[in-house]
């Protein structure tokens, strides 16, 4: 199949490398931001030659960011070309338009590499949905934050030193605030929940908190209490809609999430009849993500012509009935008067609070993390 590659960074370079010497695939064009002598006459700086080439059946978008990626992907779909992308920012922000464009033009749109790096979670969800109703999706979906939290937990290291290592290893986004403040997790959560429940959530409605404020002192106190901090995405089907939150959480050190090392991800789908099914693997990095991108290409070459779900019903994010105890470290405890259940290291643990109630108070706090309910019941109730 003749394809065009948009982007030649970490993932794009991985796609290029993995296809070298493969006679089934011809990368006819590579859209790059700067000159790449190794690409010869394949290198282009605009979409025109790609759109004008009727032999290009599939466009692979791994530029990242929303503009100009949206314009390029929309133009490719309108030109009747299949699209594979690993761009979660793009897919979360323009889910409705892009899935509708693919449907209207009878072409495939796939984005498996956008959630879980090398883990085929979205394709697994598609398969679960063929036979079951999904109750919830949850887990660790950001390699950078897991790498930082895991090394801080195991080595007692400081935040800044391990962030620098994660960047050097190519796990972090170009702007690491997308990882550290929860944006990347929230974007992946939108995609997981949308596919799982056949809905279309608005990214901005999902409460989010990041790990930027966590210190070695917090982590030492968690360890002493038998807890491990992980950045989690959780979404479940509720009466009035879908609940969804992206935030750090303290899980018992015996929990499967606590054992997820370095940049790995662990994502769970719970089906009404299936029960829990968990997926573990490399959540970020050049080859794992490039492999998921190429798996999508291969599915299309084998006849796949659809998105993961036909439905995208607009749906409110409803967290009002979701109550969690929280670890909080803040310079001003007054907003939590009457809510404190006990001390934990340099912070305190609240009584179970409605998620929106806690998230309203986050701007005044240094670090917050949801606390495992069973741990709370045992130590604070």
Rounded to whole angstroms, the Cα distance separating 370 from 324 reads 6
Tokens representing 14 are: 């991985």
Pick the closer one to ligand HSE by CB: 123 or 142. 142
Rounded to whole angstroms, the Cα distance separating 238 from 321 reads 9
Residue 342 pairs in a beta bridge with: 349
Q: Which stretch binds ligand HSE (CB under 6 A): 91-99, 141-149, 206-214, 373-381?
A: 141-149
Pick the closer one to ligand HSE by CB: 143 or 345. 143
249 binds ligand HSE (CB under 6 A): no
Contact with ligand HSE (CB under 6 A) among 51, 260, 284, 339: 284
Q: Which stretch binds ligand HSE (CB under 6 A): 53-61, 170-178, 208-216, 296-304?
A: 170-178
283 binds ligand HSE (CB under 6 A): yes
Pick the closer one to ligand HSE by CB: 119 or 365. 119
173 binds ligand HSE (CB under 6 A): yes
Residues touching ligand HSE: how many (CB under 6 A)? Answer: 11
231 binds ligand HSE (CB under 6 A): no
Q: Which residues, at least 6 apart from 21, have a Cβ–Cβ distance to it below 8 Å?
A: none
Rounded to whole angstroms, the Cα distance separating 109 from 98 reads 8
85 binds ligand HSE (CB under 6 A): no
172 binds ligand HSE (CB under 6 A): yes
> Is 117 exposed, middle or buried, given 0-12, 13-18 or 19+ CB atoms closer than 10 A?
buried
Tokens representing 50 are: 């790609």
Using DSSP's 3-state secondary structure scheme, residue 340 falls into strand
Q: Which residues, at least 6 apart from 86, have a Cβ–Cβ distance to it below 8 Å?
A: 11, 61, 62, 111, 113, 114, 289, 292, 293
Pick the closer one to ligand HSE by CB: 141 or 228. 141
150 binds ligand HSE (CB under 6 A): no
Considering the complex, what minimum distance in angstroms separates the CB of residue 377 from ligand HSE? 32
Closest CA to 322 of 260, 214, 232, 257: 232
Considering the complex, what minimum distance in angstroms separates the CB of residue 34 from ligand HSE? 22
- For ligand HSE, the binding residues in 93-122 under the rule CB under 6 A are 117
Q: Which stretch binds ligand HSE (CB under 6 A): 73-81, 167-175, 204-212, 302-310?
A: 167-175
203 binds ligand HSE (CB under 6 A): no
Q: Which stretch binds ligand HSE (CB under 6 A): 104-112, 136-144, 205-213, 369-377?
A: 136-144
Considering the complex, what minimum distance in angstroms separates the CB of residue 216 from ligand HSE? 21
225 binds ligand HSE (CB under 6 A): no
Considering the complex, what minimum distance in angstroms separates the CB of residue 181 from ligand HSE? 12
Rounded to whole angstroms, the Cα distance separating 7 from 32 reads 5
Pick the closer one to ligand HSE by CB: 81 or 151. 151
Rounded to whole angstroms, the Cα distance separating 211 from 180 reads 6
Q: Which stretch binds ligand HSE (CB under 6 A): 76-84, 165-173, 247-255, 367-375?
A: 165-173
Let me know if 188 is a catalytic residue.
yes
Contact with ligand HSE (CB under 6 A) among 171, 307, 336, 376: 171
Contact with ligand HSE (CB under 6 A) among 139, 143, 213, 325: 143
Closest CA to 194 of 207, 185, 181, 203: 203
- If one counts every other C-beta atom within 10 angstroms of the C-beta of residue 368, the result is 23
Tokens representing 71 are: 């314009």
> Is 66 exposed, middle or buried, given 0-12, 13-18 or 19+ CB atoms closer than 10 A?
middle
Rounded to whole angstroms, the Cα distance separating 358 from 207 reads 10
Q: Which among 2, 81, 88, 188 is annotated as catalytic?
A: 188
184 binds ligand HSE (CB under 6 A): yes
Rounded to whole angstroms, the Cα distance separating 193 from 158 reads 33
| DSSP code string of 64-132 | -SSTTHHHHHHHHHHTT-EEEE--HHHHHHSHHHHHHHHHHHT--EE-GGGSSTT--HHHHHHHHHHHS
Pick the closer one to ligand HSE by CB: 123 or 144. 144
Binding site for ligand HSE (CB under 6 A): 117, 142-144, 171-173, 179, 184, 283-284
Return the active site residues. Answer: 188
């Amino acid at each position: 199949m003749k394809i065009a590659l948009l982007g030649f960074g970490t993932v794009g370079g991985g796609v290029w490398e993995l296809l070298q010497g493969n006679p089934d695939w011809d990368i006819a064009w590579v859209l790059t931001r700067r000159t790449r002598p190794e690409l010869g006459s394949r290198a282009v700086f605009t979409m025109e030659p790609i759109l004008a080439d009727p032999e290009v059946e599939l466009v692979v978008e791994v530029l990242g960011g929303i503009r100009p990626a949206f314009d390029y992907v929309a133009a490719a779909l309108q030109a009747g070309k299949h699209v594979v992308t690993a761009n979660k920012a793009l897919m979360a922000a323009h889910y409705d338009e892009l899935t509708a464009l693919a449907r209207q033009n009878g072409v495939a749109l796939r984005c498996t590499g956008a959630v879980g790096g090398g883990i085929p979670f979205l394709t697994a969800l598609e398969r679960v949905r063929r036979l079951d109703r999904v109750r919830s999706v949850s887990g660790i979906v950001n390699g950078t934050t897991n790498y930082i939290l895991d090394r801080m937990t195991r080595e007692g290291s400081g935040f800044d030193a391990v962030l620098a290592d994660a960047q050097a290893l190519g796990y972090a986004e170009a702007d690491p605030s997308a990882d550290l403040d929860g944006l990347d997790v929230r974007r992946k959560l939108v995609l997981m929940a949308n596919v799982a429940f056949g809905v279309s959530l608005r990214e901005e409605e999902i409460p989010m908190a990041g790990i930027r404020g966590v210190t070695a002192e917090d982590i030492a106190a968690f360890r002493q209490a038998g807890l491990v901090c992980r950045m989690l995405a959780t979404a479940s089907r509720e009466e009035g809609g879908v609940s969804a939150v992206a935030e750090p959480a303290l899980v018992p050190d015996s929990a499967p999430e606590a054992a997820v090392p370095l940049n790995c991800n662990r994502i769970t789908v719970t089906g009404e009849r299936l029960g829990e099914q968990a997926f573990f693997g490399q959540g970020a990095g050049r080859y794992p993500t490039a492999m998921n991108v190429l798996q999508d290409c291969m599915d299309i070459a084998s006849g796949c012509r659809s998105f993961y779900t036909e439905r995208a019903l607009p749906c409110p994010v409803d967290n009002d009935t979701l109550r969690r105890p929280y670890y909080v470290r803040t310079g001003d405890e007054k907003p939590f008067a009457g809510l404190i259940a006990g001390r934990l290291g340099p912070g305190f643990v609240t009584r179970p609070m409605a998620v929106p109630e806690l998230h309203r108070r986050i701007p005044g706090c240094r670090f917050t993390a949801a606390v495992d309910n069973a741990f709370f019941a045992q130590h604070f109730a």
